Structure 1
Amino acid sequence: MSSLVPLKLVCDNNVLWENKQPSSTMFSRPLFLKFSKENSLNIKEETENILTEYKKLNPSYLKEGVSVTHHLLMTMVDGKIISKSETSNQVCDICKAKPTDMNHLTKLKQRSLNIDMYKYGLSSLHAWIRAMETILHIAYRLEFKTWTARGNKKAILEKRKAEIQKRFRDETGLLIDIVQQGAGTTNNGNAARRFFADPEKTSNITGVSQDLIARLSVLLRALASGEQINPQNFTQYGWETAELFVSLYGWYYMPSSMHKLLIHGGDIIKHLDIMPIGALSEEAAESRNKDFRKIRENRTRKFNRKVTNRDILNNLLISSDPFLPTIRPKMSVSPKSPLPNEVKNLLASNVDETFEFIDVDDDVE
């Protein structure tokens, strides 16, 4: 399913309207549904189709001679989609660094960059999940300290994994890295946010450096703050975090998702400065997967596949009508916690706003 989220309306550098909930499904408008294999050929084909249609868009003319032109940002995708369209998911799609190159930070500065890939953004929701999985994979291997786990090492890994899962379940109530039949794993956005909310507890359970976990938490919270981020500060903090990672766990190749966050994050933020990077998240599209399943099960006619799909699309269009949020009663929100000073230092201005953790009950594979 391809979706579209309206972000803001601008006239002469004045913001007339701005979407205050860009990660909500309330504004996630479906473009089309297609039942096909998610492979490189289909991904490239659909991407080209969307871009072709976008280039053919004419301005929207309103009354009294007012016209609206449109600007498309293709950031509502995750790393898996980008990798399948350009490279292997273990290779950086920006600098083409392979796993064996990721920890050679000095050499990374000399690599040529594919700046066109900045347009896909940072996939901030999946950044939380991939960072959590990186910490877990390091924790599973701490007894033998090698990237691969073959032979006897595999049994050691499985034993330590079971111990860590049990401690998380008993001490925090989190179900970590557990396979769910037909629904990926329990590693979703909410689990990742709780995982990084208490670096001391997470470090105690996993055995991974508390400083590294805390620094990743700062970067991720800055992305999710909804504020404009200072690209220079973010780049410097990311490089320092990468250097800490390599000095502590140089035996574990840095995953491409974390490499993208730490090494290229600041450049991507600078390239997409039209909006705060947190507003360009893929969270709305991911949450729509749950809506799709619920609508298909409970709100469609089942006697004909074509009718079923039409009912799904109509329900998605109705639930994302931009008029509805204007008449809905205001929902209660969770208590807010202040932004830590480390996060404020990464922002474009020293804000006193508070950061809110919102449970979206997302089902992310």
Structure 2
Amino acid sequence: MDPRGKVTISRTLDVDDSSVFMASLVAIRLQRNDGTVLWENDRPSSTFYLRSIMFKFTKETQTTVAALKAGISREIETLQPTTLKKVKIVHELMMTMIDGKITSYLSETSTVVCDICKAKPTQMNNLESHNLRDNDEEMYQYGLSSLHAWIKCMECLLHIAYRLEVKKWSCRGDDKDKIKIRKSAIQRAFKEECGLLIDVVKQGAGSTNDGNTARRFLKNKATTARITGINEQLIENFYVILQAIASGERVDHTKFSIFCNETAELYVKLYPWYYMPSSVHKLLMHGADIIKHFGAIPIGKLSEEAAEARNKDFRHYRENHSRKINRIATNEDIFHNLLLSSDPKITSLRPRMTKQNVLLLSPKAKELLHLSTEPEELEFINIESNLENLQNSSDSE
């Protein structure tokens, strides 16, 4: 997009519209050099603040991801400060709105291998060897992918439940039939008792395993434990950990590390035959280090949830709110709608939402957080007055 606000669309031939790759950014906070916060985003996981940078009709391959990441990194390096009168605003960008698949592309590892310590599936349950491996601390910058963490933890417990009769990580022959029968029984029980569609493939759109399903699955620990046969304490521990990282509050990385280690030990003690998935391993064994890496920025504010929700908006705008006269006009209308729906000024006029995340947290999750006793008083509408006060203080000095 050029400085006048006109969208620039590149002309390409033989474009396949079946896949689209999007890049976006979300403003997290505005603060002074001394750390004083002038404004903070109270809805970082909402599309209302998700500013689209680009979209491209291409498949999500390692080559594509590497090329786009390199291009965005070059733009970040050449990004100039924004000056308002005498106030200079320096931008610091973090690339955390990605999932495990993108992270594996960036680390050039398989999705079943830990991108931080490079542990293979057969090494995941060997907790004693964890401290002996070197960690690639550069990978901390990509965050924890807190939305996908819910889904991956649920799927991990489900796959254990399917295999409880055979107690094997890799199954063949008759074992596959036993797993299939048990899986059907578990799916039927969740549908009848909870109204949840578990692990059901949707035509052309993945499966029914989404964030909301995972939250209900883990929250109703007693029902889930009874249906699946999974240890109830392990289900609760996963729920506490995921609540903490998704809360948007600062996590005490020391307490979090201890709790995650206890959960990992419980997992290995109960189900040593099922290798911990790389996503669960990353959460339990490296989660505290990643949280510590981001310092004062709560890990929950760096979620990829807004970017995932934007995919539905993209389809809606393309189908219902774009001109179909040619490809250029269609893409222009899509991009304009993406920008309008996330305009900060328009968002500031929307009714403010009461923050209830902390009230809904379990007591154990609250113990892992640095909870502030001060009321929320930072709103987007105050950003102009805060900058004006900053300008006045600068003039007086």
Normalised-by-shorter TM-score class: over 0.9
Q: Corresponding residue for 2:13?
A: none
TM-score where L is the length of structure 1: 0.93
**Displacement of 1:274:** 3.2
Among 236, 254, 259, the residue aligned to 1:237: 259
Instruction: Return the match for 1:186 from 185, 208, 211.
Output: 208
Corresponding residue of 1:363: none
**Which residue of the partner structure matches residue 217 of structure 1?**
239
1:83 pairs with 2:97: no
The change in CA–CA distance for 1:351 and 1:213 in structure 2 (over 3 A counts) is farther
Pairwise CA distance, 1:349: 4.4
> For residues 331 and 229 of structure 1, what CA distance do their matches in structure 2 show?
23
What amino acid sits opposite 1:294 in the alignment? H
- Could you tell me which of 29, 45, 56 is aligned with 2:67? 45
- Cα distance change, pair 332–21 in 1 and its aligned pair in 2 (3 A): closer
The Cα offsets for residues 137-175 of structure 1, whole Å up to 9 and x where unpaired, read as 000000000001211111111111110001000001111
In the alignment, what sits opposite 1:281?
Answer: 303
Q: Aligned with 2:269: secondary structure?
A: helix
Structure 1: 5+ residue stretches without partners: 354-365
Q: Is the 8 A contact 1:3 1:285 kept in 2?
A: yes
- Does the CA contact (< 8 Å) of 2:146 and 2:300 recur in 1? yes
Q: SS of the counterpart of 1:252?
A: coil
- Corresponding residue SS for 1:32: strand
Letter in 1 for 2:344: P
Measure the CA separation in 1 of the matches of 2:46 and 2:169: 38
Alignment length, in residue pairs?
352
Q: Which runs of 5+ in 2 are unaligned?
A: 1-21, 376-397
Distance 2:320 2:204 in 1: 19
1:92 to 105, 114, 127: 114
Matches of 1:20 and 1:231, distance apart in 2: 22
Q: How does 1:1-365 map to 2 (within 5 A)?
A: 1-11=22-32, 12-63=34-85, 65-86=86-107, 87-330=109-352, 337-349=359-371
- Return closer, same or farther for 1:333/1:273 CA change in 2, 3 Å cut-off: closer
The 3-state SS of whatever aligns with 1:323 is helix
Distance of 1:233 and 1:350 partners within structure 2: 17
Q: Which amino acid aligns with 2:92?
A: H
- Matches of 1:25 and 1:230 in 2, distance apart? 28
Whether contact under 8 Å (2:115, 2:139) holds in the other structure is yes
1:104 maps to amino acid: N
Could you tell me which amino acid in structure 2 is paired with residue 146 of structure 1?
A: K
Question: What corresponds to 1:356 in structure 2?
Answer: none
Q: Report the secondary structure of 1:33's partner residue.
A: strand
In structure 2, give the amino acid aligned to 1:94.
Answer: I
Alpha-carbon distance in structure 2 between the residues aligned to 1:158 and 1:351: 50
Once the 2 structures are TM-superposed, how far is the Cα of residue 345 of structure 1 from its aligned partner?
Answer: 1.6
Contact 1:344–1:351 (CA<8 Å) still a contact in 2?
A: no
Contact 2:247 2:357 in 1 (8 A): no
Q: Secondary structure at the match of 2:39?
A: strand
Give the Å deviation of 1:330. Answer: 4.2
Maintained 8 Å contact 2:48/2:347: yes
1:30-61 C-alpha deviation (Å, 9 max, x unpaired): 00011112111111111111110000011111
Amino acid at match of 2:102: I
Aligned AA for 2:165? Answer: E
Contact kept, 8 Å, 2:250 with 2:296, in 1: the verdict is no
SS of the aligned residue for 1:159 comes to: helix
Larger radius of gyration between Structure 1 and Structure 2: 2
Amino acid at match of 2:164: L
SS in 2 for 1:109: helix
- For residues 357 and 260 of structure 2, the distance between their equivalents in structure 1, rounded to whole angstroms, comes to 29
Identify the range of structure 1 (325-334 vs 306-315) with the bigger mean alpha-carbon deviation: 325-334
Partner of 1:362: none
Indicate if the aligned counterparts of 2:94 and 2:141 stay in contact, CA closer than 8 A.
yes
* Partner secondary structure for residue 52 of structure 2: strand
User: Cα RMSD between the aligned structures?
Assistant: 1.6
Q: What's the TM-score, normalizing by structure 2?
A: 0.86
**Cα distance change of structure 1 residues 352 and 195 upon mapping to structure 2, 3 Å threshold:** farther
